[in-house]
Amino acid sequence: MSIRITGIGSFIPNMKRKNSDFLKHEFLNDDGSGFPHGNEVTIEKFKAITGIEERRYLEEELSTSDMATVAAQKAIEDAKIDPETLDYLIIAHNYGDVKHGSIQSDTVPSIATRVKHNLRIKNPKCVAYDVLFGCPGWIEAVIQAQAFMRCGMAKKCLVVGAEALSRVVDKYDRDSMIFSDGAGATVLEVTDEEGGILAHESATYAYQDAHHIYFGKSNRPEEQDDTRYIKMNGRKIYEFALSQVPQAMKTCLDKSGKTIDDVKKIFIHQANEKMDDAIVARFYKLHKKPVPPRITPMTIHELGNSSVATVPTLLDLVVRGEIKDQEVKKGDVVILASVGAGMNVNSIIYQY
């Protein structure tokens, strides 16, 4: 028995926001003070570190559950299954449905319930629920789904990662340029084929690292309302990721029975190009190996950081041949890995 991805799909919003669109923004430090240089310098430094040139924002009339529904429908169609046969529908997100112009997140009913309703699934035995696990949420939801399947509680599961971060950013915070919107989905099924999910690793480091990503006030002191926005301590996150993610990937690979030479692709959370490159370099350093060329597909340059959606969206684009010089073939061993709020870390070894 193996647990395999039999269908995949994504939703990438059409609305592009280039770095140049931020030239007239008023960026402020955490204490409300201004920067000693113009936005041209801020944006240049931002691009050099993150690699981001543009990002995608959700259309005003849509919400997180709408994106999740579209991605889910594509995955169902790709798997060629009847959605009524799904045992679980798991949605990873962090901020719920936030309507354009609203300051309130709507999570009742759950995003998973909304998506099940939108898909018009009548079967009450298709259990729908949400996962809040920071940016690693989609990978964690896949880990949960395969656990249900291995113990005989399910045969088919739909797992979606969706987020509209543009609705929860502080426009006075330069970190707002990192975030974007999107959704990715996969259908998982029990099959008799070899491969599929070979191993997983997951951990939460809450003792000292719980609050590196949090909700906080606007950087503009004159903003007197009680609205809170996504905030992060970038340096702490960078240090944490480099210390924990490579080892989690190595532990996962060791458990899978595969070797570093078997790995053909690493699908890592698109958080920050410099950080992702450093994580992969350190992972290979643990094996005393150089980083192979084109081992790490990247979408962050054009799509930004869409949190839980980055890994499934990236996977979908590569599987469908939409990223130049990137592909996965039958038998390829790949690593899925992520890090995010919690602080949470996880990884999966998967064989196509």
For 227-271, how does the pLDDT look when each residue is reduced to its tens digit (9 = 90+)? 889 999 999 999 999 999 999 999 999 999 999 999 999 999 999
Taking residues 192-214, report their average pLDDT.
96
pTM of the model: 0.95
In eight-state DSSP terms, residue 291 is P
CA distances from 164 to 60, 68, 247 (A): 11, 10, 30
- Separation of alpha carbons 336 and 198, rounded Å: 12
Residue 327, CA distances (Å) to 266, 269, 330 in order: 11, 18, 10
Tens digit of each residue's pLDDT (9 = 90 or more) over 29-87: 988 888 888 899 999 999 999 999 999 999 999 999 999 999 999 999 999 999 999 99
DSSP 270: -
The pLDDT, as a whole number, for residue 102 is: 86
User: Residue 224: pLDDT above 70?
Assistant: no
- Structure confidence by residue, pLDDT tens digits, 287-338: 999 999 999 999 999 999 999 999 999 999 999 999 999 999 999 999 999 9
Q: Look at the block and give the residue holding tokens 């570093």.
A: 260
Q: Which domains does the chain have, with CATH numbers?
A: 2-195 (3.40.47.10), 198-351 (3.40.47.10)
Pseudo-torsion of CA 279, 280, 283, 284, nearest 10°?
Answer: -150
Task: Give the phi and the psi of residue 256 in degrees, each rounded to 5.
Answer: -75, -20
Does residue 185 contact residue 8 with C-beta atoms inside 8 Å? yes
What are the helix and strand counts (H, E) for the chain?
8, 13
Q: What is the pLDDT of residues 111-123, one digit of tens each?
A: 999 999 999 999 9
Write the burial class of residue 293 (CB in 10 Å: 0-12 exposed, 13-18 middle, 19+ buried). Answer: exposed
> For residue 223, is pLDDT > 80?
no
pLDDT digits (tens, 9 = 90+) for 276-288: 999 999 999 999 9
Grade residue 141 by pLDDT with cuts at 50, 70 and 90: very high
| Residue 79 φ/ψ, nearest 5 degrees | -80, -15
Nearest-5° angle of CA 166, CA 306, CA 51? 100
* Residue partners of 234: CB distance under 8 A and separation at least 6: 175, 272
- Report the share of the chain in percent with pLDDT over 90: 93
Q: Rounded CA gap, 110 and 293, in Å?
A: 42
Whether pLDDT at 156 is above 90: yes
Confidence at 101, pLDDT banded by 50, 70, 90: confident
Q: Read off the pLDDT of each residue in 210-223 and give the average, rounded to a whole number.
A: 90
What is the spatial distance between Cα 132 and Cα 215, in angstroms, rounded to a whole number?
A: 15
pLDDT > 70 fraction of the chain, expressed in percent and rounded: 100
Q: How many CB atoms lie within 10 A of CB 289?
A: 12
